């Protein structure tokens, strides 16, 4: 994972003083392009890693080779751990490596580095379409999480003042997990307006696990999104397409023979019968909805409305 590589690159540079993208690629068994992107990411984030062009050049840490990380400033260490932390997930080995890395930092800013390592979580499974451009509020919120400062923003027509506990990157759509007067809440970052970091100290429960909090959020959302279910059959060749389209809301049942007539039975879920009908309507020529009857009825009603709306000008 990327976090492993970022930490490994920094340790490698400490040992050698200067490396090329080719050397990093060979050591870490990645492509030269991937190694170069990782080096550029470290530099862009404020870690003291700089390229030296020309013959005999490469990438090096400012000040040359080091045996520890005491040359990092507080801001540079925070940047490193914000980069490394998101990929850590629940990996025990990487968490252990990050803890050891924290131990090598000057005591005056170990707390911020440790907070940065636990500030962001990555969940690669999308809900619907993937996000696009990174919202500029993400960096401001990440800083507030690490610095333990309350943030203010507009959301759902209300002004919010919350304690930011952590950020989640779900397939490039960002969510903020925060403490509010009403308890823990999750906010979609791109729906927040006028995001502002305050100077007010924020509280974060000592026992908080960002991974566990997000898992509970996902489970609650999935229960809501899976309140209705339909059984459909389709040609076996289309199963991978439907599974990719519906994601975790598509479960494979009985598998038939590969062919146009024989097919596979699938269970498709959504938040309502109407939502199921709307999502399945586009697959009308490829799937057969076996039930329940209320979903078949919703499909028929949807088809009748479409025929009435667009059929008058036909012919």
Q: Are residues 99 and 13 in the same domain?
A: yes
DSSP H helices, 226-292, are 239-246, 273-281
Residues 8 and 104 in one domain: yes
pLDDT band of 255, cuts 50, 70, 90: very low
Q: Is 19 or 263 the better-scoring residue by pLDDT?
A: 19
Tell me: pLDDT of 28 over 90.
no
Pick the closest to residue 91 from 3, 179, 184, 190 (CA basis): 3
In a domain, 245, yes or no: yes
Q: Tell me the CATH number at 135.
A: 2.30.30
Q: What is the pLDDT of residue 179?
A: 94
Segment 59-65 shows an average pLDDT of 61
More reliable by pLDDT, 294 or 6: 294
Are 165 and 159 in contact by the 8 Å Cβ rule? The answer is: no
Answer yes or no: do 87 and 150 share one domain. no
Long-range contacts, 107-115 (Cβ 8 Å, 24+): 108/74, 109/74, 109/77, 109/78, 112/74, 112/77, 112/78, 112/146, 112/147, 113/77, 113/78, 113/80, 113/81, 114/81, 115/145, 115/146, 115/148
257 with 182, same domain: the answer is no
Reduce the DSSP state of residue 262 to 3 states and report it: coil
**Integer Cα distance of 174 and 121 in angstroms:** 10
- Total number of domains constituting the chain: 3
Indicate the range of 30-44, 88-102, 265-279 predicted with least confidence: 88-102
Domain of residue 165 covers 122-224
Q: Residue 20 domain-assigned? A: yes
Any domain includes 272? yes
pLDDT at 50: 74
- Together in a domain, 9 and 101: yes
CATH code (residue 237): 3.30.70
Share of the chain above pLDDT 70, in %: 67
Q: Is residue 315 part of a domain?
A: no
Determine the average pLDDT of the residues in 5-27: 77
| Residue 115, domain member (yes or no) | no
Nearest to 77 by CA among 44, 102, 60, 50: 102
Last residue of a domain, one of 197, 224, 251: 224
Of 130 and 143, the one with more pLDDT:
143
The pairing of beta strand 173-180 with beta strand 183-188: antiparallel
3-class DSSP assignment, residue 193: strand
Residue 116 lies in a domain: no
Residue whose C-alpha is closest to residue 84's, from 71, 96, 98: 98
Beta strands per DSSP E along 181-270: 183-188, 193-201, 228-235, 250-255, 263-270
Mean pLDDT along residues 22-44: 83
Label residue 102 by pLDDT band (50, 70, 90): low
In contact, 85 and 118? CB cutoff 8 Å: yes
Which of 183, 203, 224 is the C-terminal boundary of a domain?
224
Domain co-membership, 248 together with 201: no
pLDDT mean over 74-101? 52
Q: How far is CA 236 from CA 107, 242, 243, 248, 277, in A?
A: 60, 10, 11, 18, 21
Provide the pLDDT for residue 256: 42
Predicted confidence at residue 88, as pLDDT, reads 44
The residue from 53, 84, 110 where one domain ends is 110
What number of other Cβ atoms are within 10 A of residue 264's Cβ?
20
Mean predicted confidence (pLDDT) in 236-256: 76
pLDDT of residue 180: 94
pLDDT in tens, 139-174: 888 888 878 899 999 998 899 999 999 888 887 788
What is the pLDDT at residue 282? 85
Q: Please report whether residue 79 resides in a domain.
A: yes
The verdict on 43 and 18 lying in the same domain is yes
User: Above 80 in pLDDT, residue 177?
Assistant: yes
Residue 258 pLDDT more than 50? no
More confident residue, 107 or 138: 138
CB count within 10 Å of CB 214 equals: 19
**305 token code pair:** 């409305």
pLDDT of residue 78: 56
Q: Do 219 and 234 lie in a common domain? A: no
User: Both 235 and 215 in a single domain?
Assistant: no
Q: Is 82 helix (H, G, I), strand (E, B) or coil?
A: helix
The reply to whether 6 and 102 lie within a common domain is yes
pLDDT digits (tens, 9 = 90+) for 192-231: 999 999 999 999 888 888 888 888 888 887 776 667 888 9
Per-chain mean pLDDT for the chain: 75
Q: Mark whether 22 and 93 lie in a shared domain.
A: yes
The predicted model gives 132-139 an average pLDDT of 72
Residue 272 main-chain phi, psi, to 5 deg:
-160, 165
**How far apart (Å, rounded) are the C-alpha atoms in residues 196 and 187?**
15
* Higher pLDDT among residues 272 and 112, named by residue: 272
Where does the pLDDT of residue 3 fall: very low under 50, low under 70, confident under 90, or very high at 90 and above? low
Has residue 81 got a pLDDT over 90? no
Please give the pLDDT value at position 303. Answer: 87
Whether 117 is in a domain gets the answer: no
Q: Are residues 174 and 194 in the same domain?
A: yes
User: What's the CATH code of the domain at 98?
Assistant: 1.10.10.10
């Amino acid at each position: 994972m990327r976090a492993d590589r970022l930490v490994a690159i920094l340790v490698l540079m400490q040992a050698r003083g200067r490396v090329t993208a080719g050397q990093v690629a060979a050591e870490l068994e990645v492509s030269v392009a991937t190694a170069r992107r990782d080096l550029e990411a470290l530099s862009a984030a404020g870690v003291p890693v700089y390229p030296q062009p020309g013959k005999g050049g490469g990438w090096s840490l400012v000040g040359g080779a080091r045996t520890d990380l005491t040359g990092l400033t507080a801001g540079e260490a925070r940047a490193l751990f914000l980069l490394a932390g998101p990929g850590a997930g629940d990996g025990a080995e990487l968490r252990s490596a990050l803890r050891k890395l924290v131990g090598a930092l000057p005591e005056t800013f170990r707390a911020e580095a440790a907070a940065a390592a636990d500030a962001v979580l990555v969940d690669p499974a999308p809900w619907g379409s993937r996000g696009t451009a990174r919202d500029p509020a993400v960096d401001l919120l990440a800083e507030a999480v690490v610095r333990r400062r309350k943030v203010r923003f507009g959301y759902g027509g209300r002004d919010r003042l919350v304690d930011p506990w952590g950020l989640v990157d779900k397939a490039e759509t960002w969510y903020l997990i925060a403490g509010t007067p009403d308890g823990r809440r999750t906010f979609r970052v791109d729906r927040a307006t006028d995001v502002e970091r305050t100077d007010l100290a924020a509280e974060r429960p000592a026992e908080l696990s960002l991974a566990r909090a997000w898992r509970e959020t996902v489970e609650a959302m999935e229960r809501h999104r899976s309140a209705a279910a339909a059984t459909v059959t389709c040609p076996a060749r289309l199963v991978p397409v439907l599974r990719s389209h519906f994601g975790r809301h598509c479960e494979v049942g009985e598998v038939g023979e590969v062919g146009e007539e024989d097919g596979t039975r699938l269970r498709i879920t959504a938040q309502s019968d109407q939502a199921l009908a709307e999502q399945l309507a586009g697959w009308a020529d490829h799937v057969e909805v076996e039930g329940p009857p209320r979903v078949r009825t919703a499909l028929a009603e949807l088809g009748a409305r479409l025929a009435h709306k667009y059929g008058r000008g036909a012919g």
